[in-house]
């Protein structure tokens, strides 16, 4: 448990000390959202219709961009190897890094969500469901993303490859989260989708650390 | 049992065995395929609703089956490679990926060719089509990862691990896409409600399915042979083999 807290604390400290770098995914998200009305149409009805999808595609891409931070710099400076040879269970360390990544990227998304919902013209009644979907959906993004980053940690130019590996695995979150928000915006119950998002989060948070730990051992060996 | 498996999995033994088996499997595959095509394209009667264009199922359905079958084989081989560190399993996992991707692509292309006269469009975002497309992306991911890692052994194991992650995700993705469809707009494309297929169509279909399996085995054995050679190029038995072929 101490190792878990130590790793999480270290990663969070690193995120806080590199504030500008940590803010980039959020800014990217804002820019993508701002591009949509420019590229499609600023008409209220159109925006309302596509807002849930745009919101979640933006969130997916922003998470994707921030994933590399999880293991890449540790790989470069060698601290990843120390984590691998430490007597602490590696999946636990990976879980700590996933939690820290979520706190550094998922949580800001949550704070920015009301503003972005406003920009996209999402009705106020869907805000609660949007926040709930973010709370339940973004941990899955961090956890599944960890496997992809762990597999590509040793590669020089792993960025494009990472998106190819990770984005197809993000489809369930995109489907359920966007559908939950659309349902709520249309005044329909969204509990089913939220339950499924919760189930995905539970599944990915338990299994992904194991897979990512195995992937790290392959990447570093 | 273990001794047999280890002997089978030793690269020189596999290389020889695969070399003997592959041509036989290839010829049987050709024979079955000729029979299946003749039965499907000539003997089987036209469908009472779809006319002649249904005949594409004799290629489409077996390749869709193969696309999923090969992914599972790949993940299984990946698991064996990770758990028991058997080199041959890595080769099988990695060399399966391009074959599987080709079958997936074939299933998508034949499906959209069939969709044009039947549904009036080449592509609909139907649940099955979408998950088949995602399957293609998953194959590309495995191939891309394998190509990107320099060290061959690490590349094989990483690709195997990714295949396992994918195989856990395929059902989740499939059902999420299916529910997305029903949650969103209700079915716009009604699936053929499992029509009881006539024997004159079923027999060629099964013949084609078996011949596709044999085709996969043949190509896999050939690809695995060259994969083994490439990985073992420094080993003694490869040098011996080379010396022998040069002296011939």
User: Among A146, A61, A160, A148, which residue's Cα sits nearest to residue A102?
Assistant: A146
pLDDT tens figures, A101-115: 999 988 889 989 999
Cβ distance of B176 and A221 shorter than 8 Å = no
**Two tokens at B83?**
């758990």
Question: Which residues of chain B have a Cβ shorter than 8 Å from any chain A Cβ?
Answer: 82, 134, 137-138, 140-141, 144-145, 148-149, 154, 157-158, 161-162, 164-166, 168-169, 172-173, 176-177, 179-180, 183-184
pLDDT tens figures, B185-220: 444 444 445 556 777 788 888 899 999 999 999 999
The shortest CB-CB distance from B157 to any of A175, A196, A218 is to A218
Cβ distance of A152 and B148 shorter than 8 Å = yes
Q: Is the pLDDT of residue B141 over 60?
A: yes
Q: Is the pLDDT of residue B138 over 90?
A: yes
Least confident range of A124-128, B42-46, B140-144, B220-224: B42-46
* Three-class DSSP category at B47: strand
The shortest CB-CB distance from B180 to any of A155, A179, A214 is to A179
Instruction: Kindly indicate the confidence band of residue B44, based on its pLDDT and cuts at 50, 70 and 90.
Output: confident
**Two tokens at B222?**
């050939």
Distance of residue B51 Cα from the nearest chain A Cα, in angstroms: 37
Chain centroid to Cα B109, Å, comes to 15
pTM score, whole prediction: 0.89
Phi, psi of A68 (to 5 degrees): -55, -30
Supply the pLDDT for residue A205. 94
Supply the pLDDT for residue A190. 86
Burial of B244 (0-12, 13-18, 19+ CB in 10 A): exposed
Instruction: Kindly indicate the confidence band of residue A137, based on its pLDDT and cuts at 50, 70 and 90.
Output: very high
Question: Which residues of chain A have a Cβ shorter than 8 Å from any chain B Cβ?
Answer: 147, 151-152, 154-155, 158, 161, 164-165, 167-169, 171-172, 175-176, 179, 182-183, 193, 196, 200, 207, 211, 214-215, 218-219, 221
Distance of residue A184 Cα from the nearest chain B Cα, in angstroms: 13
Residue-range domain boundaries for chain B: 20-43+53-187+198-227
Helix ranges, B124-235 (H): 127-148, 152-184, 199-231
Q: Please list, residue by residue across A17-52, b when 16 or more beta carbons sit within 10 angstroms of its beta carbon and e when fewer do.
A: eeeeebeebbebbbebbeebbeeeeeeeeebbebbb
DSSP string, A163-185: HHHHGGGGHHHHHHHHHHHHHHH
Q: Is the pLDDT of residue A95 over 90?
A: yes
Burial of B237 (0-12, 13-18, 19+ CB in 10 A): middle
Supply the pLDDT for residue B208. 92
The shortest CB-CB distance from B165 to any of A147, A172, A200 is to A147
Give mean pLDDT, residues B160-186: 77
Cβ distance of B137 and A200 shorter than 8 Å = no
How many residue contacts between A and B have a Cβ separation below 8 Å? 74
Q: Is the pLDDT of residue A220 over 90?
A: no
User: Among A52, A45, A178, which residue's Cα sits nearest to residue B183?
Assistant: A178
Which of the given ranges, A2-6, B75-79, B197-201, has the highest pLDDT on average? Answer: B75-79
User: CB–CB of A188/A122 below 8 Å?
Assistant: no
Cβ distance of A221 and B168 shorter than 8 Å = no
Supply the pLDDT for residue B218. 94
Q: Is the pLDDT of residue B31 over 90?
A: yes
- Which chain A residues touch B184 with a CB distance below 8 Å? 179, 182
Q: Is the pLDDT of residue A179 over 60?
A: yes
């Amino acid at each position: 448990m101490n190792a878990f807290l130590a790793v999480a604390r270290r990663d969070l400290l690193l995120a806080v000390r590199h504030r500008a770098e940590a803010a980039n995914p959020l800014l990217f998200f804002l820019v993508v959202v701002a591009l949509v009305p420019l590229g499609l149409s600023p008409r209220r009805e159109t925006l309302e219709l596509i807002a849930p999808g745009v919101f979640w595609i933006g969130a997916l891409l922003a998470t994707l961009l921030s994933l590399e931070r999880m293991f890449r710099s540790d790989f470069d400076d060698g601290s990843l190897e120390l984590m691998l040879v430490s007597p602490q269970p590696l999946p636990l360390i990976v879980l700590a890094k996933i939690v820290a990544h979520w706190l550094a990227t998922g949580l800001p998304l949550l704070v920015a969500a009301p503003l972005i919902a406003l920009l996209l013209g999402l009705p106020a009644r869907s805000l609660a469901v949007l926040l709930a979907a973010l709370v339940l959906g973004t941990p899955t993004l961090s956890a599944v993303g960890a496997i992809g980053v762990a597999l590509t940690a040793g590669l020089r130019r792993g960025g494009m490859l990472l998106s190819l590996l990770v984005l197809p695995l993000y489809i369930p979150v995109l489907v359920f989260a966007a559908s939950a928000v659309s349902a709520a915006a249309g005044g329909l119950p969204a509990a089913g989708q939220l339950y499924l998002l919760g189930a995905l989060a539970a599944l990915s948070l338990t299994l992904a650390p194991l897979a990512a730990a195995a992937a790290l051992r392959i990447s570093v060996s | 049992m273990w001794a047999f498996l280890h002997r089978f999995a030793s690269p020189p033994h596999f290389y020889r065995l695969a070399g003997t088996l592959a041509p036989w499997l290839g010829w049987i595959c050709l024979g079955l395929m000729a029979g299946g095509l003749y039965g499907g394209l000539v003997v089987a009667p036209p469908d009472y609703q779809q006319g002649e264009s249904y005949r594409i199922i004799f290629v489409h359905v077996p390749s869709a089956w193969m696309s999923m079958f090969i992914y599972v084989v790949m993940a299984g081989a990946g698991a064996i490679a990770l758990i028991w560190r058997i080199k041959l399993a890595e080769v099988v996992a990695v060399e399966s990926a391009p074959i599987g991707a080709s079958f997936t692509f074939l299933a998508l292309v034949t499906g959209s060719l069939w969709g044009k006269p039947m549904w009036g469009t080449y592509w609909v975002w139907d649940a099955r089509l979408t998950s088949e497309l995602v399957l293609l992306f998953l194959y590309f991911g495995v191939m891309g990862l394998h190509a990107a890692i320099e060290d061959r052994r690490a590349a094989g194991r990483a690709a195997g691990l990714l295949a396992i992650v994918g195989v856990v995700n395929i059902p989740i993705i499939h059902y999420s896409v299916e529910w997305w469809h029903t949650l969103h707009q209700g079915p716009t494309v009604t699936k053929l409600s499992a029509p009881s297929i006539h024997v004159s169509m079923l027999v060629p279909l099964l013949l084609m399915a078996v011949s596709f399996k044999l085709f996969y085995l043949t190509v896999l054995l050939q690809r695995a042979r060259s994969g083994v050679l490439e990985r073992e190029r420094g080993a003694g038995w490869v040098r011996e083999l080379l010396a022998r072929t040069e002296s011939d």
